[in-house]
């Protein structure tokens, strides 16, 4: 039982340190690309609670229209979108000079080793499997990777 309490304390300590770093770095623009409205809203809320700006897109086509003008620092990307795979979208983002350095984080139910390998191949920086905790997202919401 003590190990569980120590583990929980460690997670919350890391979360607090991350929030502090984020606060000092200033707000980030985060683009959430997720087709399920409840999940998209939850991710956006987590981003906003951390002091950052969030914009939500529910399809790949919508994201392709929004991303170049929004200029996100970070993209939270679902892989299984209704109109295209997130892998294809990430590949297109990496080809765009304005988005090529944007940190892309897959937030997806696609979580096999093969899925992770594909994410790496197309330039996705981090591959997180659903379900996930707020603290798992928070550690990546920092100015410098």
Quote the pLDDT of residue 25.
59
- When pLDDT is cut at 50, 70 and 90, the band that residue 7 belongs to is very low
Nearest alpha carbon to residue 66 among 22, 36, 110, 96: 96
- When pLDDT is cut at 50, 70 and 90, the band that residue 144 belongs to is low
Quote the pLDDT of residue 141.
85
User: Is residue 70 pLDDT above 80, yes or no?
Assistant: yes
- When pLDDT is cut at 50, 70 and 90, the band that residue 29 belongs to is very high
Calpha distance 141→75 (Å, rounded): 10
φ, ψ (nearest 5 deg) of residue 132: -140, 170
- When pLDDT is cut at 50, 70 and 90, the band that residue 18 belongs to is very low
Quote the pLDDT of residue 140.
87
Q: Is 26 helix (H, G, I), strand (E, B) or coil?
A: coil
Quote the pLDDT of residue 10.
44
Quote the pLDDT of residue 15.
46
Q: Please give the structure tokens belonging to residue 6.
A: 């120590």
Beta 103-108 vs 74-77: how paired, if at all? parallel
Q: Is 126 helix (H, G, I), strand (E, B) or coil?
A: strand
User: Which domains, and CATH codes, for the chain?
Assistant: 2-138 (3.40.50.2300)
pTM: 0.81
């Amino acid at each position: 039982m003590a190990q569980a309490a120590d583990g929980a304390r460690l997670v919350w300590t890391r979360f607090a340190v991350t929030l502090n770093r984020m606060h000092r770095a200033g707000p980030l623009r985060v683009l959430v690309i997720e087709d399920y409205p409840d999940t998209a809203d939850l991710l956006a809320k987590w981003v906003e609670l951390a002091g950052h700006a969030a914009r939500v897109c529910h399809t790949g086509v919508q994201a392709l229209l929004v991303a170049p003008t929004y200029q996100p620092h970070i993209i939270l990307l679902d892989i299984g979108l209704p109109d295209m795979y997130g892998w294809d979208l990430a590949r297109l983002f990496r080809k765009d000079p304005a988005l090529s350095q944007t940190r892309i984080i897959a937030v997806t139910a696609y979580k096999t080793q093969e899925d992770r390998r594909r994410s790496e191949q197309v330039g996705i920086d981090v591959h997180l499997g659903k379900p996930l905790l707020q603290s798992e997202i928070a550690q990546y919401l920092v100015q410098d990777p």
